[in-house]
A and B are shown apart, each in its own frame.
Chain A
Amino acid sequence: MSLTSFATYAITFLAVYVQVFILITFFERRKELKEQTSDERPPITHFPSVTIIMPCWNESKTVHGTVESLLALDYPKDKLFVIIVDDGSTDNTWEEMQIYKDHPQIKIYHTENGGKHVAVNFGIDHATTDLIGCLDADSFVSSHALIDMVRIFNNRPEVMAVAPTLIVHSPKNLLQWVQKVEYNMSVYLKKMQAFLNAIHVTPGPFSVFRKEVFEKIGKFKKAHGTEDQEIAYRMQENHMRIEHCPTAYVYTVTPDTVKKLYIQRLRWIYGFIQNTVDYRRLMLNPKYGNFSFFTVPAGAISIVAVVYLFSATVYNIIVYIVETVTRWSVVGFAGTMPTFQFDWLYINTKALGMVTILLYALVLTSMIIGSRIAKQKLSWHIISYMLVYSVLAPLWLVRAVWNSITSKQPKWR
Chain B
Amino acid sequence: MKFFDKYKWSKYLLTLVLTTGIFAGAVFLSSYINQRKLENIRELQDRVATDILSSETQFDLVKDLSCEDVGNTYLSKDMSDLAERVAYTEENGTSPADSLELKKQYSILQVKDFVISKQIAERCNNLPVTILYFYTDKESCPDCVKQGYVLDSIRKQYKNVRIYSFDTRLDLTTIKTLKEVYGIEDQLPALVIDGIALKGFRSVEDVKSVLPSSVTNAVVQ
Residues in A lying within 8 Å of B, measured CB to CB:
9, 13, 16-17, 20-21, 24-25, 28, 196-197, 239, 286-290, 293, 323, 326-327, 330-332, 335, 344-346, 348-355, 358
Contact = CB atoms under 8 A, between A and B. Distances in A.
16 contacts: A13-B23, A24-B11, A24-B15, A286-B1, A287-B3, A289-B5, A330-B146, A330-B204, A332-B204, A335-B149, A335-B152, A349-B30, A350-B30, A351-B23, A351-B94, A358-B22
Interface stretch (B33-41, B48-56, B190-198): B33-41
Nearest to A25: B11
Contacts of A354: 26, 29-30
Contacts of B16: 17
A335 B156 CA distance: 9
Interface string B2-40: 011100100110111011001100110111011001001
Interface of B: 1, 3-5, 8, 11-12, 14-16, 18-19, 22-23, 26-27, 29-31, 33-34, 37, 40-41, 85, 88-89, 92, 94, 145-146, 149-150, 152-153, 156, 203-204
A287 B3 CA distance: 7
A53 B117 CA distance: 88
Contacts of A17: 15-16, 19
B220 to A, nearest CB: 12
A63 B121 CA distance: 88
Contacts, number: 96
Given A290-B5, A350-B30, A331 B19 contact: no
B37 A20 contact: no
B145 A326 contact: yes
Contacts of A355: 22-23, 26
The 3 A-B pairs at the shortest CB distance, nearest first, are namely A289-B3, A351-B30, A331-B153
A345 B19 contact: no
Nearest to B94: A350
Contacts of A326: 145-146, 149
A330 B145 CA distance: 10
| Residue among B3, B34, B146, B153 with max Cβ neighbours from chain A (10 Å) | B3
Contacts of A288: 3
Contacts of A350: 30, 92, 94
Contacts of B19: 13, 16-17, 20
B15 A20 contact: yes
| Residue among B88, B145, B153 with max Cβ neighbours from chain A (10 Å) | B153
A358 B150 CA distance: 40
Nearest to B147: A330
A197 B6 CA distance: 12
B87 to A, nearest CB: 11
A20 B3 contact: no
A286 B29 CA distance: 37
Nearest to B31: A351
Given A287-B3, A335-B153, A293 B88 contact: no
Contacts of B27: 351
Contact of B22 (A16, A25, A196, A197): A16
A290 B29 contact: no
A348 B8 CA distance: 37
Nearest to A348: B92
| Residue among B26, B29, B37 with max Cβ neighbours from chain A (10 Å) | B26
B152 A290 contact: no
A288 B149 CA distance: 59
A287 B2 CA distance: 8
B84 to A, nearest CB: 9
B3 A239 contact: yes
| Residue among B1, B12, B19, B31 with max Cβ neighbours from chain A (10 Å) | B19
A31 B14 CA distance: 20
